[in-house]
């Protein structure tokens, strides 16, 4: 059964708006400036999915951490991650793949399965008008980003704006949906594996096989 409490990482380069999108999602407000996150900031949000209240434990990880490798402590027990980029800084999109890779490595080292990660291409409000008049860069188009996300095995991608709130709730809702789906699939695999083990016969090395009764062989 899916957990009613999940840990979600919010990761990405500095100044991509991780703290802003966290506050927009949790408190429904935006501030023009925030102090740079040191190590990690925590927040809690209750999200209702199919009449089930899911407690989201949100970990906003400092953007500088990727330079020295994200801490294993942050990744431990994480159920999913939101990876942010800045739509005006192309290299943050490439760096998002490295952030994802860092988390995957820690989970693999702990013997855990990979977790769902959704890509949030933030600050969409800065180029929204350009898109309306057809002057948007190709790497900022929805089609390009969908192909990028699929290629790099993200569970989804949204162009978001922490300032206006555009797609913020939709992004987190998609991530939670993927987390619950992932957990349900893992539970099903575990149940199937346990059932198979219980149904297997115990074989003792060196023991002679018993003859079946009423057998002419």
By DSSP bridging, strand 117-122 and strand 80-86 are parallel
Evaluate whether 167 touches 160 at the Cβ level (below 8 Å). yes
pLDDT of amino acid 163: 96
Rounded distance between C-alpha atoms, residue 77 and residue 110, angstroms: 10
Rounded distance between C-alpha atoms, residue 85 and residue 154, angstroms: 13
pLDDT of amino acid 198: 46
Evaluate whether 152 touches 98 at the Cβ level (below 8 Å). no
pTM reported for the whole predicted model: 0.82
pLDDT of amino acid 207: 47
Evaluate whether 105 touches 145 at the Cβ level (below 8 Å). no
Q: Which fold has domain 5-199?
A: Rossmann fold (3.40.50)
pLDDT of amino acid 165: 98
pLDDT along the chain (217 residues), means of 10: 82 93 95 64 90 92 65 88 97 95 90 93 94 87 97 98 97 96 80 48 46 53
């Amino acid at each position: 059964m899916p957990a009613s409490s999940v840990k979600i990482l919010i990761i990405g380069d500095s100044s991509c708006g991780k703290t802003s999108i966290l506050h927009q999602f949790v408190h429904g407000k935006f501030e023009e400036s925030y102090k740079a996150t040191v190590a990690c900031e925590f927040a809690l949000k209750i999200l209702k999915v199919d009449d089930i209240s899911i407690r989201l434990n949100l970990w906003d990880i400092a953007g500088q951490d990727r330079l020295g490798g994200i801490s294993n402590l942050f990744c431990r027990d994480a159920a999913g991650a939101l990876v942010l980029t800045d739509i005006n800084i192309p290299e943050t999109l490439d760096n998002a793949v490295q952030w994802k890779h860092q988390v995957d490595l820690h989970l693999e080292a702990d013997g855990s399965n990979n977790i769902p990660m959704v890509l949030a291409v933030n600050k969409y409000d800065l180029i929204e008008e350009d898109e309306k008049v057809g002057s948007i860069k190709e790497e900022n188009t929805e089609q390009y980003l969908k192909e990028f996300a699929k290629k790099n095995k993200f569970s989804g991608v949204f162009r978001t704006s922490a300032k206006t709130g555009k797609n913020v709730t939709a992004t987190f809702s998609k991530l939670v949906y993927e987390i619950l789906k992932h957990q349900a699939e893992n539970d099903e695999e575990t149940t199937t594996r346990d059932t198979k083990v219980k149904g297997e016969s115990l074989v003792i090395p060196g023991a002679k096989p018993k003859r079946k009764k009423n057998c002419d062989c």
